[in-house]
Structure 1
Amino acid sequence: MEWDPTQFFRDESDSPPAPFALLILNHPINEKAYDVLQKHALITVCADGGANYFYEMMKARGRENLDHPNIITGDLDSIRPAVRNHYESHGVNIIFYRDDYCTDFTKALRYIRAHQDEILPPTSTTTTKPQDLTILILGGLGGRVDQALSQIHHLYSHSTHPNQNQPQDETQNKTGNLYLISEESITFILHPGKNTIRTPRARRIPPPPPSSPPSSPSLSTNPTPNDTNNQQEKEWDKDEEEEETYLLEENVGIIPLHGMERITTKGFQWDVEEWETVMGGQLSTSNHIRAEEVEVVSGGPVLMTLELAGRFKRVLA
């Protein structure tokens, strides 16, 4: 399985990303990420109370009468009456979905996947392979722990990996991938087997230089304090210039969600082979990207989370 999670954040001069829908949950919106993603989103769907956050974001920009979601769906117990009236007056399609046994997250996913063929652009007559619709979910893993875990649960349950222990859902007939965009990360579920993940333009911090050997070289080869300060200033200036090119920070985590898994990795600072990982045992967190493309092989589905570059992170008040 091949993954390209940063394609949605690349410059407009790059090739366009795979077709995707944007799903906004009932959680403060990562506005920096939204501003980049909305440029190419085919549709924006708010899951019930997500409409409140969308409205507040646009109101703060003075654009509440101009920028609207395409669809609002759920059991509609969280959307504020004033927000619902506002969007109804602007012709936004608001769909009541009653099901006490699934969340608004699931209801919105089901809507998008059920209408995938309508959302996708017409297929070229020269193209025989049907397109998949990726879904980018704007949510958050901060705040209440149970809600954060619920988002991970939904991401796992509705991803398209083979999962014999999960009851099949009609939405799993669709093959588009899911990505959760939270305050600082992009998170997705890797499939069993070999996964190749493109990680271009990650900020790979070089390791510190080795310390000087005990026998000091001649004084002429030792940098003076001024030389050291000047070098540091040049490195900082260069880092500021490159800030706008980064897509990812170097940090990455690979987390098992369904018992013990054995993983083999390539392209990280600390690679492993047939390494057992399980909750309550060994976990691969805070590893570092060291290549333009990394590889993870696992016997079952595992969660992968990549840290977004600083320019895509949500600014906390």
Structure 2
Amino acid sequence: MSTDWYPCGLLNNKPTNPYAVLILNQPINKNALNAVIQSASLLVCADGGANRLLEYDHNATNGFEKRLPDAIIGDLDSITQPTERYYRSRGVQVVRDPDQYSTDFTKCLKWIRDWTTKVAISSDSTMDVVVLGGLGGRVDQGFSQVHHLYLAENDKELLTGRIYLLSEQSLSFVLADSINLVHLEAGYFEENVGIIPILGRTLITTKGLEWDVDQWPTEFGGQMSTSNHIRSNMIELSFDGPRPLFTLELHQCFTLAGT
């Protein structure tokens, strides 16, 4: 059994599955958002993420028509009053959820899942989620975003498809419990990849990288597979142990450096 990944489809308007874009209250990588927003089935903002989207729209020079979010969700302690008024006046659904035992991130994931189940835009109600976040700011917030990737993967109440983190320079996702086949095309990613053992020691096996390994132990405080290089249009990854995080460096045209 194997799991196929087509990350380039998120960036070239040819996605494998329908997907939602979720904008967190983080600085936006506008070039990456330009690439994924047009084909998104849903656009959702987590509370202050609406401020970020409005700023993105006001500064947009991409030639695309501005897109209103389908919903703004959270405890609404970060969205500014002018932003909230602006979107409400345009008919955007603003959902206040005061639950202090869940984050705005998880509130949005639950809303997306519920919407997908009700609308059933595909026969199996699959909806991937592309999260616009950032790992270059506060360390605790960066770890929180990675934490939420694992949380969503382990909770069927939060996700019906796959979840990706699209940050300043990378696209990251949690590998599946099987052989993972990552299909790539030229022009979307640079050569650098990493396999990060977030949950603890695991044994990784790779094919298609410059430095392939077989049952290679990796863990924090031990060996770590970072800055390996893509050498094939299909990377095969498997592991024995907890599921690691796989990260691909975006091509410069999708990063802020490509502006």
* TM norm structure 1: 0.76
Could you tell me which residue of structure 2 aligns to residue 137 of structure 1?
A: 131
Counterparts of 1:228-267 in structure 2, within 5 Å, are 246-267=187-208
User: In 2, distance between residues paired with 1:131 and 1:170?
Assistant: 12
The CA deviation at 1:49 is 0.5
Q: Deviating runs (4+, > 6 A) in structure 1? A: none
Residues 113 and 160 in structure 2, CA contact (< 8 A), matched pair in contact too: no
What is residue 302 of structure 1 aligned with on the other side?
A: 244
Structure 2 vs 1, CA of residues 81 and 248 (structure 1 numbering), >3 Å: closer, same or farther?
A: same
Q: Matches of 2:163 and 2:85 in 1, distance apart?
A: 31
Deviations 1:15-57 (A, max 9, x none): 5542111100001111111111111101100000000000111
CA distance in 2 between partners of 1:53 and 1:314 (Å): 15
DSSP 3-state at the match of 1:200: coil
| Count of aligned positions | 254
Separation in 1, partners of 2:150, 2:244: 9
Partner deviation per Cα, 1:87-125 (whole Å, 9 max, x = no partner): 1111110001121112111111111112113455364xx
Q: How does 1:148-297 map to 2 (within 5 A)?
A: 148-160=142-154, 169-172=155-158, 174-201=159-186, 246-297=187-238
CA–CA distance in 2 between the matches of 1:89 and 1:33? Answer: 28
CA contact (8 A) 1:74 1:108 kept: yes
Cα distance in 2 for residues equivalent to 1:42 and 1:118: 14
* Change over 3 Å in CA distance of 1:66–1:20 after alignment to 2: closer
**Greater strand share, structure number:** 2
Distance change in 2, residues 1:283/1:27 (3 Å): same
Q: What SS does structure 2 have at the residue aligned with 1:286?
A: strand
How far 1:270 sits from its partner (Å)? 0.3
The alignment's C-alpha RMSD in Å is 2.0
Percent identical pairs in the alignment equals: 43
Instruction: Assess if the C-alpha contact under 8 Å between 1:253 and 1:305 holds in 2.
Output: yes
* Residues in 2 aligned to 1:247 and 1:175: alpha-carbon distance in whole angstroms: 26
The residue aligned with 1:7 is: 9
What amino acid is the match of 1:37? V
- Residues 6 and 316 of structure 1: CA distance in aligned 2, closer, same or farther (over 3 Å): closer
Structure number with larger C-alpha Rg: 1
2:183 and 2:235 in contact (8 A); partners too: yes
SS of the aligned residue for 2:22 comes to strand
- Name the CA distance, whole Å, in 1 between partners of 2:55 and 2:234: 38
Which residue pairs with 1:213 in the alignment? none
Deviation, structure 1 residue 156: 1.4
The corresponding residue for 2:86 is 86
Gaps of 5+ in 2: none
Residues 53-97 of structure 1: CA deviation (Å, up to 9, x unaligned): 00111122399x953211000000000111111111111100011
Segments of 5+ residues of structure 1 without an aligned counterpart are 124-129, 161-168, 202-245
